[in-house]
Structure 1
Amino acid sequence: MPSAVIPKALEPGATIAFISPSARLNIRCSAFMTRATSVLKGQGYNVREFFNTDTGIQSSIANRLSEIRAAFSDPSISAIICTIGGSNFTELLPALVADTELHSVIRANPKIVVGFSDITGVHWFLHALTGLRTFYGPGALPELGEANSVDDETTPLSFCVKNLFRIITSREAIGDIQRSPTYAPKLAALFDNSDTPKPPEIIPTPGWIWIRPGKSQGRLFGGCLTAVARLAGIRSIVPDWRGKIVFFETAIGEDEASGNPIYRVQAGIADLIAQGVFDDAAGLVVGRPFGYDSEKMRDEYIGVIKGLLCEGPLAEKKFPILFNVDIGHTTPMVTLPFDTLAELDSEKDRFAILEPAVL
């Protein structure tokens, strides 16, 4: 495991790159990409998009690898935002794991890297083989490309942007993780194959729920539940879970309208237990699950967590479990920096990061 590499804080006027290491929707969703670019430019940054047209599976793999190398090798780029997740990032991992020259380039010129969902694999690769601290946060599609005003603080877009730049520009300890009073229960227009600018409908959030109380400190690590379970078989990038505050969140269902089925959630958590993720965990943070919007559905999701982690052999562990945080497949979302020292305290209703995320 290489020593930790912490990227520099994003400076005004810096250049941010978009890359697409998994799903390749840049052309199909060009209006969203245009709006995402405008949002970043409106915050005072330059934007570059690394994207070549694919002609097949192997062409796509080659393109994605070359785009990753180009973005990381360019000294003018300070931050990289992955446009969206997708299930095929692992196609790149054999080449990325073997590319020791790229590892050296990244360590010598570290950049801020942001993304979520199956971009979990990017985060794990960079942490394990370069030591780089990365950020679990929004992509261009659809988060930064939403049809909303950044200046209207009631919008999900404003919350996403505010929290992203709070994390990657400040050299001060981050402190309390923010929580949005509202969220959008339905997917963005992106998934309706539409470029029509239509702001998401929002409803009140039930807020944080402490499934198991307690107080602890540990370093944050995790990702999308299904990706975490899949990546466990790639030994070279699996983290040391001891003492970690683990976080996970769940993806959308295959119908792109409902949440990840509860049996898959149960299987995913069981996979993590079998892998020893919670043997010496300091805590667990669970993202607000997409599609679980009624009290009955939330209780079903919580019941799975309780049944697996609060009963049986793991009941004696007593680490705190916080549920319904604005991370992952939810709108809006906060940005979480990997491998930062965090604290959970149910008595104070607090989830906080105790150090800066950038230099």
Structure 2
Amino acid sequence: MIHRRNFLTIAALTSLITPLLPHRLGQATASAKLKPRRLLPGDTVGIISPAGATFRREELNIVMDAVRGLGLVPKLAPHVLDRYGYLAGRDRDRAADINQFFADPEVAALLPIRGDWGSSRVLPYLDYQRIQQNPKIVVGFSDITALLLGIHAQTGLITFHGPHGLTSWRPDQTASFRQVLFEGQSLTIANTVAAEDLDRLMPVRNRIQTLTPGEAQGKLIGGNLSVIAGIVGSPYMPDLTGAVLFLEDVGESIYRIDRMLTQLKLAGMLDQLSGFIFGQCSHCGPGEDYGSLTLEEVLQDHIAPLGIPAWMGAAIGHVEPILTLPIGAEVLIEATAGTLQMLEPAVA
């Protein structure tokens, strides 16, 4: 038993320490949907490094040129070129850059230079109350999945699975970015015929494989499977009740995809879904594992028994173009055609 005097001492110390800790809102407080303001020409974009380090200044210059090419103004975070091993500086410093830009009235959006690894490490140090009070566009993919989901889970802010600074920014990618974030369009997204297949009688690339036909509606949640598996059970994983979940990955053996989907299944997350999309698993395969399951077999094992509309092969992942998808917005999917329809603008 704790002596009353000790209890009062602990309580007093707690009251002093609590204001110094990063503010967390929790999923109950973040249940309301929050939309950032749309981008306007001439807006300022804060360039951040929440994950992997940038080792060459030239890469930062390339990102700044891309931002200017979009008609926007780049602004560098104080620690954007910091290095701590493979990370872009210390966790608290990377988080401080994000907090600072959310507090900066001049900044309209936050754009990471790259993914790699490290976004999950900054989540405990973000000021979620400040973020909720100053909703802004946050966009990225791959490891940035943790940042997108963590912010959405804690604040209700719609975030965006889309390009980061060092992606290609070719017209097909830039078009989606502009339509969603500048124009506030509610897009219908479907695979297009690859350039290599234009002279074929049938498409070979970007093919849709329906796991379970049908339509489903729900809040869009998703991103990189490896990153999502790493935050399962934390307060930074959004509630998946009635959600449409999309997943993608890169460079993973099939048994690892199986293992991570099993983790989601055992955590009860798959049972909550209204719909499911698996995008691209670039450079994923059995390798030298003779007799491996295929990706299709793994998805049949885990997803088909759910009985929800589901398909694989969506043009989402570590592929070009990187489409801009709203995390937390309401969507409608059709699993036979392999289409995803935004039911609302994702920006205000």
Q: State if a TM-score over 0.5 links the two structures.
A: yes
**1:68 has 2:98 as partner:** yes
Counterpart of 2:236 in structure 1 is 237
Question: Could you tell me how far 1:347 is from its partner in structure 2?
Answer: 4.8
TM (normalized to structure 1)?
0.78
**Counterpart position of 1:196:** none
Go from structure 1 to structure 2 and tell me whether the alpha carbon gap of 1:52 and 1:288 turns closer, same or farther (over 3 Å shift): closer
Deviation of the 1:95 alpha carbon: 2.3
> 1:65 corresponds to which letter in structure 2?
A
Aligned partner of 1:288 among 280, 286, 289: 280
Q: Is residue 345 from structure 1 mapped to residue 334 from structure 2 by the alignment?
A: yes
How far off its partner does 1:139 sit?
Answer: 0.8
Shift of 1:59: 5.2
Give yes or no for contact 1:17–1:81 (8 Å, CA) kept in 2.
yes
Matched, 1:165 2:178: yes
Is the CA contact (8 Å cut-off) linking 2:253 and 2:284 kept in structure 1?
A: no
Aligned partner (choices 113, 123, 130) of residue 93 of structure 1: 123
Matched residue type, 1:221 = I
Q: What is the CA distance between 1:348 and its match in structure 2?
A: 4.8
Structure 2, unaligned stretches of length 5 or more?
1-27, 197-202, 287-292
The Cα offsets for residues 286-344 of structure 1, whole Å up to 9 and x where unpaired, read as 111112599xxxx921121012222xxxx2x3211121222222222211101111111
**Aligned equivalents of 1:104, 1:53: Cα separation in 2:** 26
Q: Secondary structure at the match of 1:177?
A: strand
CA distance in 2, matches of 1:178, 1:164: 15
Say yes or no: does 1:132 pair with 2:165. Answer: no
Q: Would the aligned equivalents of 2:206 and 2:314 in 1 still touch at CA under 8 Å?
A: no
- Asked if 1:309 is matched to 2:303, the reply is yes
Moved more, 242-251 or 59-68: 59-68
Q: 1:6 aligns with which of 35, 51, 54?
A: 35
How far residue 31 of structure 1 moved from its aligned partner, in angstroms, is 3.1
Question: What secondary structure, in the 3-state scheme, does the structure 2 residue paired with 1:240 have?
Answer: coil
User: 1:293 & 1:238 partners in 2: Cα distance?
Assistant: 27
For 2:67, the equivalent position in structure 1 comes to 40
Question: Within the alignment, does 1:300 sit opposite 2:327 as a pair?
Answer: no
Asked if structure 1 preserves the Cα contact closer than 8 Å seen for 2:82 and 2:88, the reply is no
List alignment gaps of at least 5 residues for structure 1. Answer: 97-101, 151-156, 185-202, 254-259
Say yes or no: does 1:246 pair with 2:245: yes
State how far apart, in whole Å, the 2-side matches of 1:177 and 1:339 are: 16
Q: Percent identity?
A: 28
Question: After the TM superposition, which segments of 4 or more aligned residues of structure 1 sit over 4 Å from their partners?
Answer: 55-59
- Shift of the 183–329 alpha-carbon distance from structure 1 to 2, 3 Å rule, reads farther
TM-score by length of 2: 0.80
* SS across alignment from 1:357: coil
Task: Find the counterpart in structure 1 of residue 217 from structure 2.
Answer: 217
Following the alignment from structure 2 to structure 1, what is the Cα–Cα distance between the partners of residues 238 and 64? 33
* Cα deviations by residue, 1:72-125 (Å, 9 ceiling, x for unpaired): 1111010111222222222223323xxxxx222222221100011121211122
SS of residue matched to 2:90 = helix
1:68 Cα deviation after fit? 1.3
Q: Which has the larger radius of gyration?
A: 2
What is the distance in 2 between the residues matched to 1:83 and 1:246? Answer: 25
Once residues 124 and 16 of structure 1 are traced to their aligned partners in structure 2, the CA distance between those partners, rounded to angstroms, is: 20
Does the 8 A contact of 1:327 with 1:335 survive in 2?
A: no
One-letter amino acid of the structure 2 residue matched with residue 215 of structure 1 = E
| 3-state SS in 1 of match to 2:117 | coil
Give me the CA root mean square deviation. Answer: 2.6
Pick closer, same or farther for the CA change 1:280–1:58 going to 2, 3 Å: closer
